Amino acid sequence: MTVALSGKEIASQIEEKSPGSVEESSQDSLVVKSDSLLSVAAFLKDNETLKFDYLNYITAVDYFSYFEVVYQLTSLEHNHTVVIKTRCYSRENPAVPSVIGVWQGADFQEREIYDLMGIKFEGHPNMKRIFLWEGFPGHPLRKDYLQ
């Protein structure tokens, strides 16, 4: 059985290494500040006891006051998992750093989120629409999108 690690516990480990990078944490997940996402991602992947080498999925949710980007990570060796999130508060130009350098599996998923939710992933080598055509007005998965 894959063990879901406590978000609070992981948060305290991250805080120990780079203080001030965790915004919020609960039993199920932890929210990381977007400007320290990359260092947290590298820490989670390289740490011997955590070793989150597998990115299950990335998705994004529009909560009106902010966008939340959700990452689920699994360690195939230790068989445990954690959900980390990051938020962007701008509706005009939401952006988070791309984790493609840490987990290459993020490639198409980040493009999909950009296409449908309009969040830019900084540092992604090919940040363009994936399903809809260039010039499509708006981003359909946003809650204020009108058909």
Partner 1 sequence: MTTTEMMTLKTEPFVLNFGPVHPSTHGVYRMRATLDGEVVLDIEPVFGYLHRGVEKLAEERTYTGFIPLTDRLDYISSMSNNLAYCLAVEKLAGIKVPERAEYIRVIIAELQRLVNHFIAVGTFLNDCGAYMTPVVYMLREREKILDLFDMVCGQRLTYNYMRVGGVSQDIPDEFLPALKKLTGTLPRFIEEMEWLIKQNEIFLARTKGVGILSGETAINCSISGPVARGSGIKWDLRKADPYSVYDRFEFDIPTCEAGDCYDRYRIRMEEMRQSLRIIEQAMRDIPSGPVRADVPHLIRPPVGEAYAHIEAPKGELGFYLASDNSIAPYRCHVRPTSLINLTALREMVRGWKVADLIVIFGSIDICLGEVDR
Q: Which residues bind partner 1 (CB under 8 A)?
A: 1-2, 53-57, 59, 61-62, 70, 72, 76, 79, 83, 103-109, 112, 116, 129-133, 140-141
- CA dihedral angle for residue 113, residue 17, residue 90, residue 119, rounded to 10 degrees: -10
Nearer to partner 1, 127 or 130 (CB): 130
Kindly state the smallest distance separating residue 136's Cβ from partner 1, in Å. Answer: 10
Closest separation in Å from C-beta 19 to partner 1:
28
Under a CB-based contact definition with an 8 Å cutoff, are residues 106 and 125 in contact? no
Nearer to partner 1, 64 or 89 (CB): 64
- Nearer Cβ to partner 1, position 20 or 125? 125
By beta-carbon proximity to partner 1, the closer residue of 18 and 81 is 81
The number of beta carbons lying within 10 Å of the beta carbon of residue 24 is 13
CB of 107 to partner 1, least distance (A): 5
Chain Cα centroid distance, residue 98: 8
CA distances from 127 to 96, 119, 133, 136 (A): 12, 10, 13, 15
Measured distance CA(116)–CA(132) in Å, rounded? 8
